[in-house]
Amino acid sequence: MKRIINILIIFPLFVFAGLDISKVNSVLSSIKSLKDSSIPLKFYNTKKSLHLNKKLNFTSQNYADIILFPIKKKINKAFVVDSYKALKKYKNSIGAIYMKKGRTQIVFVAERLKNSGFDLREMKKKYLIPECKLEAICFLKN
Amino acid sequence: MYNKFIFFRNNKIYYYIIGGYLLLIIWGGYFYKNIGNYEDRLKNLLLSQTISSVENASNNILNRMLKKYSDFVYENYKDASVRSENEYKISDLLNDDIDSVYILYLENKKLFYLLDASREDRGELGERFEPIEENIFIEAQTNRESKTFIQPTIDKLGFTLIKPIVQHDKTIGFLVLDYKESSLATLSSLLNVSVKSLLYAILFSLFILLVLISYMLHTQYIKYVMYCNPLTNTLNRVYLTDNYDKINFKDYYVALVDVDFFKRINNLYGQKNGDKVLISIIRRITLLLREEDIFIQYGGEEFLLLIPKKNMEEPIFKNLLEKIRRLIESTNFRVKNYRFSVTISIGALLQTELEKSLQDAIHKADTALYKSKHNGRNSISYFDLSQPERIYREQLKEMIESDKLVCYYQPIKRLKDSTLHHYEALLRIEDGDKIIFPDKILPALEDSYLYTFLTKKIIEYNIKILRIDSRMRISINLSADDLINDSILFLLLQNSDLSARLYVEILETKSIDYIRVENSIQRLKLLGFKICIDDFGSGYSNLTHLLNLSIDYLKIDGSIIKEILHDKRAYSIVKTFALFSKENNIEVIAEFIDNKEVIEVLRSFGVEYGQGFYFSQAKPYAELEHHKE
């Protein structure tokens, strides 16, 4: 039991081990509001071990526009998950930032971003995937 | 400087080494600059060696899969069982070094997972694959060639192989193999060993070359020390001996220059001042020489000039020698407060092309020099091809050095009973069957450094005889110059334990600096040496000096003794000398005794000793009667 607890405590720390922080900062700072792109978005980061750039506007969960890696996923705000599986599972997540095979992966679902009133700036559009990409059936139809 | 770097000029290997060293430095620099490229190339080479087997296997798998499905991406997307079958196939590529094998497909320039047979952390179908090394994927896509690269930023990963998948002449995706970090460690160690080996090889080569250069420079330095007279900074005779074959003498005029009466300068002002004069003479001569001219201090005060014939006609060469002669003649040398002038004699050979060797050419120049000396010195003579053969000074030197010098011994007997008193050592050189007598030897060596050399050899020869034969008593002939020569005097003083059996005969025919000679004689007499004046009556006989020298024996010149029976003047001279000697406690020796009548007359005068053919001619030591006993 103790071993399981240890794994549960330590494992999240390793999820982001080797994450390309500058790339993450760059993509997060490129998220803009569809209403007013000049207003900087507010973030709430649950993973304190992940030292994101302080230039990103961090605030409490209540005031945040986007929540990074929430533990409870039943929330009314846009949030970013830490795995591709979670991105597929939680339809209200707008994107995922995670490590796969030692490489930093950043994915944002275009439709979900839009529905949440966000978008990525032009330079970072390559991180967008369509919703349909998450389902094989959708790919086959197209 | 006329020949300062002659060693380097004559050693081409020196240039080769310097050239080689420069090339190695340039190459080393180039290598250092391009070591990065070299490392990369080496890495790729090693990587391609490592992945070659995997690449073959992956080619086979991909070929089979692509043949089977006309639309590889679609078929896999559509059917989970196809995916599972294909993932199983590519899982064959997994081994101890490879943990991840997966296939990505391309869509709108983006990469997505299609198949993933990795042991862990598998990508899902359609999952976005964001590469770090995007440009390599683009390159692989464009060139349709496999790419291997080291993963510098990913922990746990060593390197990655990307293999483009081409179907219907279009790159549809990539097969990707991620190698573990451990595989890279092996590669790195290989790379390390390879680069290090190369570096060590270069360093070792440099070191060897440095050692070689140091050795060469050291050799050159040793040669410099060996070949150069440190006082005058000119080449010496050793250089010539070592380079006889290297000098193409036919391209040179040969001239020998000798300082006239240099021994007197040494005797008058001391050797130190003599050296100063010599340096001054050398400096003046070399001032007139060109860089390509070779100047060698051949003997103590004898110099050899090798002047290239190129760009120098005979009249110009003759003019050069005349300039040298005049320059020395017109120079006022100064030692302490004394000013004096020095002259030189020069002998030269113009037609060197007719000679067989440089030695022959030098011998001919030496003959010409001899002619200059006998023509009153301070002159230049050129070897005349019609000149008769003679023994060259050099030949004599070689003979003396090769132990051809011997002494023959003529007994000096008591006239009253014809018993042996002692032997006179007479110089001979045995050259094969030929015996060379002093009249051929001494004039050639007169006034040269070889004269002292010869005297020392004679003394050493006789000391050896005295040491092995305690019954021998020998008189040796020395010139007045020999007696004031420190090295000769030292040699005698060193062997003073033999003084009771070693007599010194001073040649009277030369003019003598009585004061200095007297001093030397006193020193010898104090140690027990007996002194005899040789050939008395033939030269500058001076009775007052004779008394001052307090000599033991007086040897009347043979030319007077020979005439004693026929010439009243000779008769009365001998009688007077005998009387004078008796009065002054000097014993008299008569030489050239060839009959009994002469002995009777000499006995009547009270002459004590005699020598000549009547008693015995001079014989080698081995043939002496007492030796035979």
DSSP string, B80-91: HHHHHHHHHHHG
**B364 with B407, same domain?**
no
CATH number at residue B453: 3.20.20.450
- Specify whether B419 is located in the same domain as B322: no
Check whether residue B148 and residue B249 sit in a common domain: no
How far apart CA B331 and CA B261 sit, in angstroms, is 16
pLDDT for A14 beyond 50: no
Q: What is the pLDDT of residues B230-280, one digit of tens each?
A: 777 788 888 888 888 888 899 999 999 999 988 788 877 888 888 889 999
Average confidence (pLDDT) over B399-403:
83
Confidence label for A25 from pLDDT (cuts 50, 70 and 90): very high
| ipTM attached to this prediction | 0.86
When mean pLDDT is compared across B380-394, B420-434, B459-473, the lowest value belongs to B380-394
Q: Any chain B CB within 8 A of the CB of A134?
A: yes
Interface touch B130/A103, C-beta < 8 Å: yes
Contact B157 A102 (CB under 8 A): yes
B283 or B510: which leads in pLDDT: B283
B246 and B176 within one domain: no
> What is the domain range of residue B333?
234-387
At residue A44, φ and ψ (nearest 5 deg) are -130, 125
Higher pLDDT, residue A54 or B140: B140
Taking the CA of residue A141 and the nearest CA in chain B, the distance in Å comes to 10
Rama region for B144: left / alpha / beta (φ>0; ψ in -120 to 50; rest): left
pLDDT category of residue B619 using cuts at 50, 70 and 90: very high
Average the pLDDT over B597-620 and give the result: 92
R_g (Cα) of chain B, nearest Å: 48
Pick from A2-16, B113-127, B288-302, B495-509 the range whose average pLDDT is largest.
Answer: B113-127
* B290 within 8 A of B222, measured Cβ to Cβ: no
The answer to whether the Cα torsion of B562, B565, B569, B573 is positive or negative is positive
**Average pLDDT along chain A:** 84
Which residues lie below 8 Å from residue A91, measured CB to CB, with a gap of 6+?
A112
**Is the distance from CB of B367 to CB of B390 less than 8 angstroms?**
yes
Using a pLDDT cut of 90, give the percent of chain B over it.
Answer: 38
pLDDT band at B1; cut points 50, 70, 90: very low
Question: Which residues from chain B sit within 8 angstroms of residue A18, using beta carbons?
Answer: 154-155
B285: nearest Cα among B266, B263, B304: B304
Q: Does A107 contact B at CB distance below 8 Å?
A: yes
Distance, CA of B372 to CA of B320 (rounded, Å): 17
Q: What percent of chain B has pLDDT over 70?
A: 91
| Domain C-terminal end among B387, B403, B425 | B387
The pLDDT of residue A10 is 44
Report yes or no on whether pTM surpasses 0.90.
no
CB B33 within 8 A of CB B249: no
For A111-133, the pLDDT digits (tens) are 999 999 999 999 999 999 998 88
B399 and B546 inside one domain: yes
Q: Are residues B117 and B217 in the same domain?
A: yes
> Between these two residues, B82 and B509, which has the higher pLDDT value?
B82
Residue range B151-189, pLDDT digits in tens: 776 667 778 889 999 999 999 999 999 988 777 666 667
Say whether A135 sits in a helix, a strand or coil: coil
Strand segments (E) across B470-568: 474-478, 502-507, 530-536, 553-556
Closest to A100 (Cβ–Cβ): which among B112, B121, B155? B121
Of A98 and A8, more confident: A98
Which burial class, exposed, middle or buried, applies to A71 when counting CB atoms under 10 A from its CB (0-12, 13-18, 19+)? exposed
pLDDT band per the 50, 70, 90 thresholds, residue A1: very low
SS3 state at B392: coil
Which band of pLDDT confidence, cut at 50, 70 and 90, is reported for residue B387?
Answer: low
- Domain end marker among B227, B249, B278: B227
What pLDDT was estimated at residue A110?
A: 93
Amino acid A8: pLDDT? 43
Q: What local confidence, expressed as pLDDT, does residue B539 receive?
A: 62
Window from A44-53, A70-79, B216-225 with minimum mean pLDDT: B216-225
| CATH classification of the domain holding B299 | 3.30.70.270
Is the per-residue pLDDT at B292 higher than 90? no
B363, B387, B411 — which closes off a domain? B387
B297 and B378 both lie in a single domain: yes
> So what's the pLDDT on residue B407?
94
- The mean of the pLDDT values for chain B is 85
pLDDT at B388: 60
Residues of A in contact with B73 (CB under 8 A): none
CA distance B169 to chain A (A): 22
- A interface test, pick of B106, B120, B130 with most A CB neighbours within 10 Å: B130
One domain for residues B371 and B414: no
**pLDDT, position B2:** 45
- What confidence tier does B551 reach under pLDDT thresholds 50, 70, 90? confident
Asked if B559 and B452 sit in the same domain, the reply is: yes
d(C-alpha B527, C-alpha B471), whole Å: 20
**Smallest Cα distance from A103 to chain B, Å:** 7
Please tell me the least confidently modeled range out of B118-122, B342-346, B507-511.
B507-511
Q: Rounded to whole angstroms, how far apart are CA atoms B26 and B36? A: 17
The maximal CA–CA distance of chain A, rounded, in angstroms, is 50
What pLDDT score was predicted for residue B610?
A: 94
A132, B185 in Cβ contact below 8 A?
A: no
What are the chain A neighbours of B132 within 8 Å (beta carbons)?
A: 20, 103-104
Interval B361-374: pLDDT, tens: 988 898 899 888 88
Contact between B555 and B533 (Cβ < 8 Å): yes
User: B397 pLDDT band (50/70/90 cuts)?
Assistant: confident
Residue A64: predicted pLDDT: 92
pLDDT of residue A7 exceeding 70: no
Number of A to B CB contacts under 8 A, please give it: 57
**Residue B343: DSSP 8-state:** -
Number of separate domains in chain B: 3
Assess whether pLDDT exceeds 90 at residue B48.
no
pLDDT band at A13 (very low <50, low <70, confident <90, very high): very low
Contacts of B123 in chain A (CB under 8 A): 84, 100-101
Per-residue pLDDT, B492: 92
